[in-house]
Amino acid sequence: MLSNRRLPDLKIRDLRDDYCEFELSNTDVSMANALRRVMLVEVPTIAVDLVEIEQNTTVLNDEFIAHRLGLIPLVSTAVHHMKGPFDDIGEKDFTDVELSLHVLCTSDDTQDVTSNDFILDHQHPEVYPVGYSDSRMQSEDAERPILIVKMRKNQELKLKAIARKGIGKDHAKWIPVATVTFQHKPQISINRALMDTLDEKVKEAFVDASPSHALSYNSVTKQVEVTETEAYMYDGEYEKMAQELHHPDLITITQSDNEFIFRVEGTGVLSVEDVIITAVDVLTAKLRNLQQALPPPEQNEGEN
């Protein structure tokens, strides 16, 4: 059993609040995919889940507005000490964050109702729409708020929106990221000896064969070099070109099955770092769960 055990390496290449690129190696595709899946749909966030509409005279109907509210990303740092509606709830736990909104259009022009019009829950001011800025302190550099509905004179929207903890599996509004993707790292090796037999023009044409520009031609050394391995898209263009030149061995490209490049794009709901760490936690918790549920390994197995 222990023989299969490997310790994955994680090398971070780029880490920003809403973007992360890292290299995961020394593990299997199943591991990589599990991580992707968990990041996508099992990292809990907060989103509007129940809307009580008191007054709605806008052009959009109640369900439509409720649906739109659900899709507004809420900053979910509070999610870690929040309980879901179906969890066991103790004395100090909270499940609901109550946002409210009341806008009445009094101007003759079209008025936008945006995520900035939300009145936050005074008990949980840390839950607010992404890009939220209080109407009293509008600043120039503030992000454009999210439009909910447009109003004309005398239209009114008054509602209470209850935000809850949830996961992307239940509804896409709880998905914490814009996208998570991984790709197998390509391995490109050029047959130098064979390549040297080609003349300059052919080399240049060879490099331009694929739109991915993974290879480049160095005019100084007169060599074809692998510049951007990861830009390669497995489009098979280089191999095709090699075939056409009657040198099928000119280039060998294979997929690595234990090196993966991950790219995570956040939405501002959680920092990408937070998403990744939570995802690993969730994944470990799942594995621990599984471990506990499985019967202990039988002893006679080792005797064989």
Partner 1 sequence: MTEPPKSLDELVRPHVDSFDYFINEGLHTVVSLLKPIEIEQPGADRRHRIWFENPRVSRPVKDDASGLADKRLFPRDCREAGLTYKGALHLDIMVQDGSAAPQRLSRLMGHIPIMVRSSACHLRNLAPQQLIRRREESMEVGGYFICNGLERIIRMLIQQRRHYVMALRRSAYQKRGNTFTDAATLLRCVRPDETSATVRCHYLRDGTAKFAFTVGRAEFFIPVGILLKCFVEASDKEVFTKLLATIPQDQGEVDNAVVETVERLLRAPSQMGLYTRAQSLEYLGSMFRGTLDVPARFTDLQAGEMLLREHIFIHLDRPIDKLNALIAMTGKLFALVADLCGEDNADALSHHEALLPGTLLSKFVSDKLAECLGIVKRQVLQDYEKTPEQVDFRDPTYLKKATDRMPDLGRKIEYLLNTGNLVSNNTLDLSQNTGFTVVAEKLNFFRYLSHFRAIHRGAYFAQLRTTTVRKLLPESWGFLCPVHTPDGSPCGLLNHFTAACQVVARPSEAPEDVQYAISMVAAGAGMVPCTPALTPPALPAYVSISLDGRLIGYIQSGYAGRLADYFRRLKAARLAADSGLPLPPGSPPLKGPEALVPPDLEVAHIPYERGGPYPGVFLFSAPARMIRPVLQMESGACELIGTLEQIDLNIRCPDGTEQAGDEGMYSHREINCSAMLSVVASLTPFSDFNQSPRNMYQCQMGKQTMGTPSQAIRHRTDTKLYRIQTPQTPIVRTKRYKEYHMDEFPGGTNMIVAVLAYTGYDMEDAMILNKAAVDRGLAHGTIFKTETVNLKDDKGKTQIFAAEMKGPRDRPPEKPRGAFGQELPQALSASAASTAVTGPLKVQPEGGHRNEERIDVDGLPHVGTVIYPGQAYYSRVDCATGRAKTGNLKGEEVGMVEQVAIVGTADPSLQRANILMRLNRNPVIGDKFSSRHGQKGVLSQQWPDTDMPFVAATGMRPDLIINPHAFPSRMTIGMLLESLVSKAGALGGRFVDGSPFQAADGGTIAGNLVQTAGDTLEAAGFSRLGGESLISGVTGEEFSADIYIGPVYYQRLRHMVSDKFQVRSTGPVNALTHQPIKGRKFGGGIRFGEMERDALLAHGAAYLLHDRLHTASDYAVMDACQSCGSILTPFTQPRETSQLGAHLVGTAGPLRGHVICRACNSSHTITRVALPFVLKYLVTELAAMNIKCTFDLKPS
Answer for the pair 187, 256: CB distance below 8 angstroms, yes or no: yes
**Which of 21, 23, 156, 265 is close enough to bind partner 1 by CB under 8 A?**
265
Helix/strand/coil for 269: coil
Answer for the pair 115, 73: CB distance below 8 angstroms, yes or no: no
State the chain's maximal CA–CA distance in angstroms: 85
Tokens 């030149």 sit on residue: 245
Answer for the pair 160, 54: CB distance below 8 angstroms, yes or no: yes
Half-sphere exposure of 289 (CA within 13 A, CB side): 6
Binding status of residue 104 toward partner 1 by CB under 8 A: no
Please give the Cα distance from 85 to 96 (Å, whole number).
8
Q: Tell the smallest beta-carbon distance from residue 94 to partner 1 (Å).
A: 10
Q: How many residues bind partner 1 (CB under 8 A)?
A: 49
Binding status of residue 184 toward partner 1 by CB under 8 A: yes
The 119-148 contact track toward partner 1, x by CB under 8 A, reads ------------------------------
Please give the Cα distance from 54 to 154 (Å, whole number).
15
Binding status of residue 155 toward partner 1 by CB under 8 A: no
Burial class (CB in 10 A: 0-12, 13-18, 19+), 43: buried
Binding status of residue 40 toward partner 1 by CB under 8 A: yes
Stretch that binds partner 1, among 59-67, 143-151, 193-201, 221-229 (CB under 8 A): 59-67
Binding status of residue 179 toward partner 1 by CB under 8 A: yes
Nearer to partner 1, 164 or 203 (CB): 164
Stretch that binds partner 1, among 28-36, 120-128, 219-227, 272-280 (CB under 8 A): 28-36
Please give the Cα distance from 88 to 94 (Å, whole number).
11
Nearer to partner 1, 135 or 254 (CB): 254
Nearer to partner 1, 196 or 244 (CB): 244
Binding status of residue 95 toward partner 1 by CB under 8 A: yes
The DSSP code sequence of 70-85 is HTS-B--GGGGG---T
Binding status of residue 211 toward partner 1 by CB under 8 A: yes
Q: Which residues would be at the binding site for partner 1 (CB under 8 A)?
A: 29-30, 32-34, 36-37, 40-41, 49-50, 52-54, 56, 61-64, 67, 71, 85-86, 89, 95-96, 162, 164, 168-169, 171-173, 175, 179-184, 211-212, 231, 233-235, 255, 263, 265
